[in-house]
C-alpha cells in the first residue's frame, strides 16, 4: 500500500512537471520590476531563442559536470570547505557590488527592530499597526533586533548573516543528496558546486528578510528527518523537531515540511516499528509551535500586548482572497484585500474573515468555469516557471533614478552607492534581461531532469525521493490557493537542486554508458 501511495505521488508530480515544461514552449513567465512594475507577466515564448539557450546551458552543464568529476580524487574535508569558502567569497562580492537598500516589508521590519531596540517602542502591536496586522512578522523583527543589539548597526552585518545561512543551506543540499544516494560510487561534488554557485541563492543574500533564514532551517530539518530513517537516532529526530520549529517560526509554510516529516515517518512504520515512529511523531508535533507559543506568552507576560497578538490579526482568508484574481491570477491585488481588513472591517479579524469569504464567493459566482481554469493555470505556470525567485528586484535591485517608465516613472529600489556592476544592470539593460533569460532556461532544464528522475524511479519502483516530492507537491497545492510570488517558493530551491542533479546524472550516465556509477 505504501509503495502504491508513493508511486501515485511520483505520477502526480510528473504530471505537474510535464505541464511546466510543455507550457514553457508556448508561454514565458516573467518578472521584471523595472519594465513591468510589480506584476506577473506571461508573454508569448520566443521559441528560437529559448531552444538556443537550452542547448547552450545544457552543453555548459555537461562540461561543468565533467570538471566536477575530477574532484573525486580529493577528500571531502578539502573540497567541501573550499567550495563553501568560494561561495562565501562570491556572495561578499555581490553585496558590495549591488548595495541594495531594504524596501517594502524589508524596510518595515528593520525599522520596527530599531524602534524596539533604541526607543522601546512596541506600538506596532496597537490597532492599525504593522504587527497588529501581521504578528507573524515579529520573528524576523526580533531576529533583526538581536543582530542590531549584538553587532554594529550596519546592513553588511545582516547580509553577512544571510550569507552564513546560505552556506548552511548549500551544505545541507549536499548532505541531503548523499543521504538519498548512499550507494553512489562517486563523491558527487557536482551537486555541492551547483548549490554553491546557484545564482538566485547568491543574490538573495541581499534581501533583509526571512527567506534565507527559513530555507536554511527547513532544509536542515528535512535532512535530519531523512537521516533518522537510516540511523533511528533520537539525536537526529530531536534536531529535526527543533530545526522544523525554528524554520516555521520564521515562515509559516513550515507546516508543509511538518506534514512531509510525519508522512515519511509513517511510510517507514513497517520497517522501523511503531516504537521508533510514534515517539518521534509526538515529539515533532509537540515542539512545532513552541517558539510561537513562547513568543506570545512573553509578549503578554511583559504587558507588551494585553491579548494574544493573533486575536485581531489579518485572517488567512485575506491571502486566499488575493489568490482569486482573474486579472493578476493571484498576485498582489493593489491593496484591495488590505482595504477590506483595514477600512471595511476596522482591523477586526472575525468581521474581515466574513467579508473575505463573501468576496471569494462573489468572485467565484461571477467567473465562468473557463475563466477560473485559465486563472489557476496561469497562476501555476507563472509561479513555478518564472525561475528567478524575483531576484531581479530582491537581490539585484535597481537605481530608482534610472527609471524610464516601468512603474509609472518610479522604481522603489535604491542602492547605498552605485558601482560598475550596478550600472551594467541598470534599468532594463541587456545584461539584466540576459541573466533573467539564463535563469529561466536553467529552471526549465532542472524540471526536465526532475522529470527524468521521476520516470526512472517509477520504472525501477524506487521511491527514495518521496520526502522531496511531498514538499514540492505541498507547495504546489498551497500556492494554487494562496497569494503568489515566485519568491514564495524559494524554500523549495534546495530540493529542486537535489532532485534535478539526480536526473542530470541519470541522463549523463546513460548517455556515456556509466550506469550504476
| Per-residue model confidence as pLDDT tens digits over 389-437 | 999 999 999 876 544 444 433 445 689 999 999 999 998 899 999 999 9
Region of 31 (left: φ > 0; alpha: ψ -120 to 50; beta: rest) is beta
pLDDT of the residue at 169: 98
pLDDT of residue 338 exceeding 60, the answer is: yes
SS3 (DSSP) at 44: strand
Rounded average pLDDT over 34-55: 95
Convert 402-420 to b/e letters by CB count within 10 Å (16 or more is b): bbeebbeeebbbbbeebee
SS3 (DSSP) at 471: helix
- Phi, psi for residue 261 in degrees, rounded to 5: -60, -45
Inside any domain, residue 66: yes
* Whole-prediction pTM: 0.96
| Segment 294-325, tens digit of pLDDT | 999 999 999 999 889 999 999 999 999 999 99
pLDDT of residue 18 exceeding 90, the answer is: yes
| Segment 141-166, tens digit of pLDDT | 999 999 999 999 999 999 999 999 99
pLDDT of the residue at 144: 98
pLDDT of the residue at 408: 38
pLDDT of residue 23 exceeding 70, the answer is: yes
Q: In the structure grid, which three cell numbers stand for residue 510, read together?
A: 546513460
In this structure, of 32-41, 231-240, 436-445, the range with the lowest mean pLDDT score is 32-41
Query: Do the beta carbons of residue 224 and residue 237 sit within 8 Å?
Result: yes
In the chain the first and final C-alpha atoms are separated, in Å, by 31
pLDDT of the residue at 427: 87
Dihedral angle sign, alpha carbons of residues 472, 476, 482, 486: positive
pLDDT of residue 257 exceeding 70, the answer is: yes
Inside any domain, residue 435: yes
| Segment 460-469, tens digit of pLDDT | 999 999 999 9
pLDDT of the residue at 216: 98
| Segment 455-490, tens digit of pLDDT | 999 999 999 999 999 999 999 999 999 999 999 999
Inside any domain, residue 516: no
pLDDT of residue 273 exceeding 70, the answer is: yes
Q: H-type helices in 98-210, by residue range? A: 104-119, 130-133, 138-150, 155-180, 189-196, 199-203
**What's the pLDDT band for 1 if we cut at 50, 70, 90?**
confident
**What's the pLDDT band for 514 if we cut at 50, 70, 90?**
low
| Segment 69-109, tens digit of pLDDT | 999 999 999 999 999 999 999 999 999 999 999 989 999 99
pLDDT of the residue at 412: 54
pLDDT of the residue at 398: 83
SS3 (DSSP) at 516: coil
Half-sphere exposure of 57 (CA within 13 A, CB side): 20
pLDDT of the residue at 414: 85
CA-wise closest residue to 286 among 248, 255, 246, 245: 245
Inside any domain, residue 209: yes
Half-sphere exposure of 292 (CA within 13 A, CB side): 19
pLDDT of the residue at 402: 44
Inside any domain, residue 289: yes
Inside any domain, residue 224: yes
pLDDT of the residue at 511: 85
For the chain, counts of helices (H) and of strands (E): 25, 2
Inside any domain, residue 517: no
Rounded average pLDDT over 2-6: 94
Mean pLDDT computed over every residue of the chain = 94
Other CB atoms closer than 10 Å to residue 196's CB: what's the count?
26
Domain tally for the chain? 1
Rounded average pLDDT over 253-267: 97
pLDDT of the residue at 510: 86
How many angstroms separate the CA atoms of 413 and 102, rounded? 8
Other CB atoms closer than 10 Å to residue 323's CB: what's the count?
24
pLDDT of the residue at 230: 95
CA-wise closest residue to 260 among 1, 491, 458, 468: 468
Query: Do the beta carbons of residue 179 and residue 289 sit within 8 Å?
Result: no
pLDDT of the residue at 409: 39
Query: Do the beta carbons of residue 86 and residue 196 sit within 8 Å?
Result: yes
Q: In the structure grid, which three cell numbers stand for residue 195, read together?
A: 548549490
Rounded average pLDDT over 345-372: 96
Query: Do the beta carbons of residue 84 and residue 196 sit within 8 Å?
Result: yes
Q: In the structure grid, which three cell numbers stand for residue 210, read together?
A: 526571512
* Structural domain boundaries, residue 231: 1-511
pLDDT of the residue at 399: 75
Beta strands in 31-84 (DSSP E): 41-44
Query: Do the beta carbons of residue 259 and residue 472 sit within 8 Å?
Result: no
Amino acid at each position: 500500500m505504501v509503495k502504491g501511495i508513493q508511486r501515485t505521488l511520483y505520477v502526480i508530480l510528473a504530471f505537474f512537471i510535464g505541464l511546466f515544461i510543455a507550457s514553457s514552449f508556448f508561454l514565458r513567465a516573467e518578472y521584471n520590476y523595472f519594465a513591468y512594475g510589480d506584476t506577473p507577466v506571461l508573454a508569448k515564448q520566443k521559441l528560437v531563442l529559448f531552444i538556443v539557450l537550452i542547448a547552450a546551458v545544457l552543453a555548459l552543464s555537461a562540461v561543468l559536470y565533467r570538471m566536477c568529476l575530477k574532484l573525486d580524487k580529493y577528500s571531502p574535508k578539502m573540497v567541501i570547505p573550499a567550495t563553501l569558502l568560494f561561495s562565501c567569497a562570491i556572495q561578499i562580492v555581490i553585496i558590495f557590488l549591488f548595495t541594495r537598500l531594504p524596501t517594502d516589508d524589508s524596510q518595515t521590519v528593520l525599522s520596527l527592530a530599531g524602534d524596539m531596540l533604541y526607543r522601546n517602542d512596541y506600538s506596532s502591536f496597537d490597532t492599525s499597526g504593522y504587527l497588529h496586522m501581521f504578528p507573524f512578522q515579529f520573528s524576523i523583527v526580533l531576529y533583526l533586533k538581536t543582530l542590531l543589539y549584538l553587532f554594529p548597526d550596519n546592513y553588511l552585518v545582516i547580509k553577512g548573516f544571510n550569507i552564513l545561512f546560505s552556506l548552511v543551506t548549500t551544505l545541507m543540499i549536499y548532505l541531503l543528496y548523499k543521504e538519498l544516494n548512499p550507494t553512489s560510487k562517486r563523491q558527487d561534488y557536482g551537486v555541492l558546486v551547483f548549490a554553491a554557485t546557484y545564482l538566485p541563492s547568491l543574490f538573495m543574500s541581499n534581501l533583509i528578510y526571512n527567506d534565507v533564514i527559513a530555507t536554511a532551517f527547513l532544509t536542515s530539518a528535512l535532512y535530519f528527518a531523512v537521516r533518522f530513517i537510516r540511523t533511528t537516532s533520537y539525536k537526529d529526530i530531536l534536531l529535526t523537531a527543533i530545526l522544523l520549529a525554528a524554520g516555521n517560526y520564521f515562515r509559516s509554510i513550515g507546516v508543509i515540511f511538518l506534514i512531509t516529516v510525519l508522512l515519511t515517518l509513517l511510510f517507514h512504520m513497517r520497517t522501523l516499528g511503531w516504537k521508533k515512529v510514534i515517539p518521534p511523531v509526538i515529539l515533532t508535533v509537540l515542539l512545532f509551535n513552541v517558539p510561537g507559543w513562547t513568543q506570545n506568552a512573553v509578549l503578554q507576560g511583559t504587558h507588551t500586548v494585553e491579548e494574544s497578538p493573533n486575536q485581531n490579526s489579518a485572517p488567512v482568508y485575506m491571502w486566499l482572497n488575493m489568490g482569486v484574481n482573474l486579472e493578476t491570477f493571484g498576485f498582489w491585488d493593489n491593496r484591495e484585500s488590505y482595504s477590506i481588513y483595514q477600512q471595511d472591517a476596522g482591523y477586526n479579524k472575525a468581521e474581515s474573515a466574513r467579508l473575505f469569504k463573501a468576496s471569494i464567493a462573489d468572485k467565484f459566482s461571477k467567473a465562468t468555469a473557463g475563466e477560473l481554469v485559465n486563472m489557476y493555470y496561469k497562476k501555476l505556470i507563472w509561479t513555478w516557471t518564472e525561475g528567478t525567485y524575483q531576484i531581479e528586484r530582491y537581490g539585484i535591485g535597481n537605481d530608482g533614478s534610472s527609471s524610464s517608465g516601468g512603474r509609472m516613472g518610479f522604481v522603489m529600489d535604491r542602492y547605498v552607492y552605485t558601482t560598475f556592476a550596478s550600472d551594467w544592470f541598470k534599468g532594463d539593460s541587456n545584461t539584466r534581461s540576459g541573466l533573467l533569460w539564463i535563469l529561466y532556461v536553467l529552471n526549465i532544464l532542472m524540471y526536465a531532469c526532475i522529470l527524468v528522475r521521476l520516470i526512472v524511479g517509477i520504472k525501477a519502483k524506487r521511491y527514495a525521493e518521496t520526502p522531496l516530492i511531498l514538499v514540492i507537491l505541498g507547495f504546489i497545492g498551497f500556492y494554487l490557493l494562496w497569494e503568489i510570488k515566485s519568491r514564495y517558493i524559494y524554500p523549495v530551491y534546495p530540493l529542486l537542486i537535489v532532485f534535478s542533479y539526480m536526473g542530470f546524472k541519470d541522463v549523463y550516465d546513460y548517455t556515456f554508458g556509466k550506469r550504476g556509477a
